[in-house]
Structure 1
C-alpha cells in the first residue's frame, strides 16, 4: 500500500486534519504498530480503539484513520465508518494492478482450494494469498492492501454468514476468475435455507469481472440456479459425476488421475477421499483457466501442505490415529470427515462438539449427525455441548455426553490404543483443539480448561 493522506481522504470521503504525508504501511492493532504506520481505528461491538489512541497507545502512527477527531498530534483522516473506509482503500489499491485475482468461496473446502491454488500458481512467481481465516469484510481488504508489483497472481478466500457479504467482498476484490467449491448447510442461521446459501455464494459470479472466468462445479445441484449470475462469462467446469472440462478419479486412497482439456496427470493428494479430489479438481480448473501447464498443476498439488485443523492426520497417544478437524463444523463437512476417517484402519471413534449457526434446524441436524455417525461405522461417540447431546440421543449405545473437555481427554488417554482412529470435530467456538492437545503423542501435562457454553 502507498497513498498520501490526501488521496486516502478523497477515496474514503473523509476529512484530513493535519499535514499531508505519505503512508506505505498500516496497522489495526496498537500492539503491532510500527513507526509511520497508518493506524485504522476499527470499532468493534466490545472494543473502541479510539480510547487507546487518546491514551497515547498510537504515538508511533504516521497518521490515523478515525471516526471522530482526537486531541493527539498525529495527522488524522476522519471518516463516517472506519471498516467501510478500509474497504474503500482496498478497492482503490486493487484497481491499480493488472494482476489476475482469483476469488474463492463455498460452504466447505474453500481454504483447501485456496491453498492448492496458491501452491500451483507459486510455480509461476510470487502469489498474494489470504492468510489464515482472514476471509471477511476486514480480512479481505487487509489482504488486498498487501498487493505489490512483485505479485504474479492473487488468491482471495471469501467467507460469509449472510446475504450480501460476498457481493461486498467481490466488489472490493474484483476477481478475474471465481470459483464456488460447493454448497452445504453452513451458516443457515444467516442464510435461512440451502437455496439461500446457494444464492448468496453466487454473488461471486454476479459481481466479478464481467470479462472474467467462472469456474463451476458441474456436479453441484444448484448450478442451474447460477446461470443468470454467470451470464456470458467464459466457464471452466470441474466434477466427477458429470461431463466437465476438468475431471478426475481416485486410483488409490491418495493417488488420483486428473484430466484437463490439454491432457492428464497422475498426482498424490494430501487429504484422501472424494472431498480431497474435489478440492484438487477445483484448483486445477482455476489454473486451467489461467493457462497454467499440467506439470505445474501436478507440482503444486503435491507441494500443498495440510491446512491446520482441517482433516490433519496426527499421531496420538498409545499409537492411536487422530484426525484433527477442529477448525469448524457443519453437517456437510462432518460427512466429508467421516468419509475420510472411513479409509483409516481400526475402530473409528468420534469426538463431536456443537455445530454452530444452523438456525432453527440446529436440533434436527444434530440428531441427523448422530444417525450419520452410526451409519458411517462409528463405534463410539463422545460429545460435548448442549446441541451435540442430541447426536448422542440418536446415536444410541456407546454414545456419551460430557460437560467438559477434560472429561473426554481423560477417557481417551485411558482407552485409546493403536487399533483406534479418533476424529475430533466441532465448530470453532467449541475449542476442541484442547482435546487434540490432550491426546497427541507426548501431550502436555496441562489438559486445558473446561468447556463453556457459547453463542453460535
Structure 2
C-alpha cells in the first residue's frame, strides 16, 4: 500500500498532524516493523501501543495512525477508531485493483483450500494469498494492503466466530468468487447454534458481486439453506456423494480422479484422504470458474504440500508414527482426522485437547468425541484440558487425563513403540504442537509413504479438517 497522509486522513476521516509524507505498507507490530510504513495503534485489552509510540518504539515508521494525539516527532493521523480505520484503508486500497478476488470460509478446511487455490492460480501468475491464519478483522485488511500491480489474483481466507463478521470482511475484500467448504459445529459459543453457523458463513455468498460465482459443497447437509443466499448468482458445485459439477474418486493409494464438465484428470496429491479430496474439488471448481485448463489445475494440486499442524504424518519416537493435526479442532475435524488415522496399520492412540467455543454443547461434544474415537478403533486416549475430563470418563479403560504438557509427554515417551500411530488433536489454545515436538523425531513421513499406507479410503466419512 502506497499512500500519502492526506489521502489516509481523507479515507479515515482523521486529522493530520505533521508533514504529508508517503507510506509504503502497514504495520500493527513494533517488533517486526519495516521502515517507511504506517504504524497503526490497535489497542488491546492489556496493551496500549500509544505508550509504545511515545517511548520511541515506532521510530522506524514514516507515520502513525492513532486514536489520540501522541507526543512524537513522527507525523500522525488521529482517528476515532484505529480498527475501523485499518479496514477503511484496506477497502479503499482494494478498490484500486481490477482482479479476481476469491473468498474462502467454512467450518473446516479453509486454510487447506486456500493453499490449493493459491497453487492452482500460481500457474497463471502472481497470487496474493492470506499468510498462515490471518483471516480476521485485522488479518484480512493487512493482507489486502499488500496488493500491488504484479498480482493477478487474490485468495482471502475469512474466519469468524460471530454473526456479521464474514459480511464485514466481504465488504472489505469484495470477492468475485466465494467458497464455503462445509458447515460444522465450530464456534457454537459465538454463533449460538448450527443454524447460526449456516447463516454466518452464507454471508460470503450474500456479499458476492452481482456477477459473482458461488462455489458450494454438494454433499453439505445444509446446502439448500446456503443456496437461499446465492440468489441469481452463478454457482458451481463440488462433491463426492451427491451429483456435482466437479466430482472425484480415489482410484489408487496415491491417485485421485477429478471429473469436470470439460473433462477428467488424474492427479497425485501430496495430502491423503477423502477430506483432502473434497478440498481439491473445491479448489478445482475455482480454477474452472476462472477459465483454467485441467493441466494447470493438476499442476497446482500436485505442488500443494500439507499445511503444518494439519494432518501431517511425522516419525515418532521408538518407531511410532505421529499424525499431527494439532493446529485446531472441532467435532467434525476430529472425525475427519480419526478417519485418516483409521487407514494406518497398527494400534491407534489419540492425544485429545479441549475443543473450544462449543458453548452449552461442550460437555456433550467431548463425551461424544470419546465415543467416536472408540468407533474408529482408538485403544488409548491421552487427554489434556478441562473438557476432556468428560472424554476420559466416557472412554473408560485405556484413557488418562493429564494436567500439564510435560507429564503427558513423559508418559508417551515411556510407552510409545513401533506399530503405534498416535493422532494429536486439539484447539489452538491447547498448544498441542508441544506434545508433537516432545514425541517426534525430526523427520517428516513423506506424503507418498502415508498415501501408500492409506488403503480403502473410498469408505471414509466426507468431513473436513480444521483450517
**TM-score interval for Structure 1 and Structure 2 normalised by the shorter chain:** over 0.9
Residue 224 (structure 1) aligned with residue 241 (structure 2): no
* Secondary structure in 2 matching 1:230: coil
Q: Secondary structure at the match of 2:332?
A: helix
- Post-superposition offset of 1:131: 0.3
RMSD: 1.1
**Structure 1 stretch displaced more, 84-93 or 59-68:** 59-68
* Aligned pairs, number: 443
Q: Does 1:75 align with 2:80?
A: no
Q: For each residue in 1:137-164, what CA deviation from the matched residue of structure 2 results, as whole angstroms up to 9, or x when unmatched?
A: 0000000000011111110000000000
The worse-fitting range, judged by mean Cα deviation, of 387-396 and 153-162 is 387-396
Deviations 1:299-344 (A, max 9, x none): 1111101001001110111111100011001100000000010111
Please name the residue that 1:238 is paired with.
Answer: 238
- Determine if contact 2:257/2:266 at 8 Å carries over to the other structure: yes
Tell me if 1:357 matches 2:362: no
Q: Show the counterpart of 2:168.
A: 168
Per the TM alignment, residue 6 of structure 1 is displaced from its structure 2 partner at its CA by 0.8
Residue matched to 2:143: 143
Q: Which runs of 5+ in 1 are unaligned?
A: 444-456
Q: 1:56, CA displacement in angstroms?
A: 1.6
Q: Give the Å deviation of 1:442.
A: 5.6
Give the Cα–Cα distance (whole angstroms) in 2 for the partners of residues 389 and 162 of structure 1: 27
2:289 matched to 1:279? no
User: Retained in 2: the 8 A contact 1:16–1:75?
Assistant: yes
Pick which of 400-409 and 296-305 moved more.
400-409
TM-superposed CA distance for 1:102, in Å, is: 0.4
Matched residue SS, 2:252: coil
- Per mean C-alpha deviation after superposition, the further-off stretch among 112-121 and 34-43 is 34-43
Q: Is 2:155 aligned against 1:155?
A: yes
Name the residue aligned to 1:25: 25
Q: Distance in 1 between matches of 2:372 and 2:253?
A: 22
- 1:293 is matched with which residue? 293
1:183 aligned partner: 183
Contact preservation (8 Å) 1:5, 1:16: yes
| TM-score, normalisation: structure 2 | 0.93
2:333 paired residue number: 333
Matched, 1:405 2:391: no
Tell me, what secondary structure is at the counterpart of 1:229?
A: coil
Q: What is the SS of the residue equivalent to 2:441?
A: coil
SS of residue matched to 1:373: helix
Give the Å deviation of 1:254. 3.6
Counterpart contact for 1:100–1:176, Cα < 8 Å = yes
Superposition map of 1:250-269 within 5 A: 250-269=250-269
Deviates more, 1:96-105 or 1:250-259: 250-259
For 1:254 and 1:356, locate their aligned partners in 2 and report how far apart those are by CA, in whole Å.
Answer: 34
Query: Are 1:440 and 2:403 an aligned pair?
Result: no
Deviations 1:380-437 (A, max 9, x none): 1111111011111111211111112112211211221221100000111011111101
Offset of residue 166 of structure 1: 0.2
Cα offsets for 1:66-85 (capped at 9, x unmatched)? 00111211111111111110
Residues 239, 247 of structure 2: 8 Å contact kept: yes
Q: Taking structure 1 as the reference length, what is the TM-score of the superposition?
A: 0.96
Work out the CA distance in 2 between the residues paired with 1:308 and 1:262.
33
Distance 1:418 1:304 in 2: 30
Q: Is the 8 A contact 1:318 1:441 kept in 2?
A: no
Shift of 1:269: 2.3
Contact 1:253-1:343 at 8 Å conserved across structures: no
Kept after mapping to 1: 8 A contact 2:6/2:20: yes
* Aligned-partner Cα distance in 2 for 1:2–1:345: 55
User: For residue 42 of structure 1, what is the aligned residue in structure 2?
Assistant: 42
Do 2:271 and 2:305's aligned partners in 1 also have CA atoms closer than 8 Å?
no
Aligned counterparts of 1:49 and 1:249: Cα–Cα separation in 2: 52
Q: Matches of 1:95 and 1:344 in 2, distance apart?
A: 49
* 29-38 or 149-158, which deviates more: 29-38
- The superposition leaves residues 83-108 of structure 1 with CA deviations (integer Å, 9 ceiling, x where unpaired) of 11000000010010011100000000
2 CA distance for matches of 1:63 and 1:300?
40
Tell me how far apart the structure 2 counterparts of residues 44 and 438 of structure 1 sit (CA, whole Å).
Answer: 33
Quick one: distance in 1 between partners of 2:124 and 2:442?
40
Q: Do 2:41 and 2:64's aligned partners in 1 also have CA atoms closer than 8 Å? A: yes
Q: Which residue does the alignment assign to 2:108?
A: 108
What is the alpha-carbon distance in structure 2 between the residues aligned to residue 315 and residue 252 of structure 1? 24
For the residues of structure 2 that align with 1:68 and 1:57, how far apart are their CA atoms? Answer: 17
Query: C-alpha separation between the residues in 1 aligned to 2:221 and 2:13?
Result: 43
